[in-house]
Structure 1
């Protein structure tokens, strides 16, 4: 009995007791509450009707993946919850698919499988080909990296077959950047798309700020020069007057002293 009491005391002192007094709950164990459907809907996922083509589908994909992340939606519930946002013809299409393959099979598919199935349905092969060509030739217009980022990611969501690996996507993204930041982004060796996008955006912001500061400085110098010129008194031109007499009358001649 004596040794048992000593061991209990040691565990208590060293913090090895794995249970709280009277609760039976482990101290170091964090309980993560499962994401419910109300939790999911509080994150305001978009609805999808299937009437607006590629743009609507792309936005639905992007928003849904964001909601999955912030709601901690489990993989098992992703298809069940996401398809509840379908409306109109899109809902009719999904219900038809469920009846065809069966409830268990339909809801057992992965999010990647659903994205592919919906892309095949709402983005015809010819339309995808056009998007792939656009993505392949996409470049930053002027200094608008933000616009480039948005369009690149929209197209990349639909043109998945173009990028078997993440590195392929990064290479294409960097290839569309302007010369003023291209080399620096390459030198940073981004390992993910997010790193590449953040680096390109930050570098372009710095370039734009530097250009604006130079423009402001040049304008200030120009204004200072103009003010100095206005403050200086005008130079007087010397005038001499000569008189000659002839034929009983006096004639006046003026000349510029600078000429002599």
Structure 2
């Protein structure tokens, strides 16, 4: 009986549907489609991206990457603007490094770079090899302190993100 009722409702819905995907609610009233507009720099900055100075180390650089990617998604930042907007959050030695790179390859080439390529360049520059070795050693020697499994799990996840070479 329930199957028959469901089948009848679906059949009735199919006959009132105009046979197309016209975004109507079945009442003849057209639903509005959301249009996604291109992100502006102001939209990007309203999402409060992190700033990176270049002195913080691998942990903060990884967090900066993660926050940038979150801000890109939230603000609907198009691929062409990602490097341009992200590099506006660089400060101190990181900004000096970026300005030197842009001067060498020209601004047009520097800002045409893909986000993944910027991440690789920054990883090469700011992931110091001895710092990564310390993080890897901590990962392999990580132990639960007493019964604090939550703290162990949180630290394990943080280290796993940093050791993507160990855990691709």
Normalising by the residue count of structure 1, what TM-score does the alignment of the two structures yield? 0.48
- Which runs of 5 or more residues in structure 2 are unaligned? 1-16, 25-29
Q: Which has the higher contact order (CA 8 A, sep 6+)?
A: 2
Determine the structure 1 residue equivalent to 2:112. 108
User: Which aligned segments of 4 or more residues in structure 1 are displaced greater than 4 angstroms?
Assistant: 15-20, 26-29
Say whether 1:154 aligns with 2:127. Answer: no
Determine the structure 2 residue equivalent to 1:44. 48
- Which runs of 5 or more residues in structure 1 are unaligned? 1-12, 21-25, 165-260
CA distance in 2, matches of 1:122, 1:81: 20
Aligned residues of 2:59 and 2:162 also touching (Cα < 8 A): no
CA distance in 1, matches of 2:76, 2:119: 19
Are the structure 2 counterparts of residues 96 and 71 from structure 1 closer, same or farther at C-alpha, using a change threshold of 3 Å?
same
Aligned residues of 1:50 and 1:56 also touching (Cα < 8 A): no
Normalising by the residue count of structure 2, what TM-score does the alignment of the two structures yield? 0.70
RMSD: 3.0
Question: Which one has the largest radius of gyration?
Answer: 1
Determine the structure 2 residue equivalent to 1:129. 133
Q: For residues 125-153 of structure 1, what are the alpha-carbon distances to aligned partners after superposition, in whole Å with 9 as ceiling and x for unaligned?
A: 12212212222333443443443344334
Mapping for residues 7-46 of structure 1, pairs under 5 Å? 14=18, 29-46=33-50
Are the structure 2 counterparts of residues 15 and 72 from structure 1 closer, same or farther at C-alpha, using a change threshold of 3 Å?
same
Q: Give the aligned length.
A: 148
Cα drift, residue 119 of structure 1: 2.2
Say whether 1:57 aligns with 2:69. Answer: no
Q: For residues 66-102 of structure 1, what are the alpha-carbon distances to aligned partners after superposition, in whole Å with 9 as ceiling and x for unaligned?
A: 2223222222222111111001111000111111223
Q: Secondary structure at the match of 1:14?
A: coil
Determine the structure 2 residue equivalent to 1:72. 76
CA distance in 1, matches of 2:147, 2:78: 40
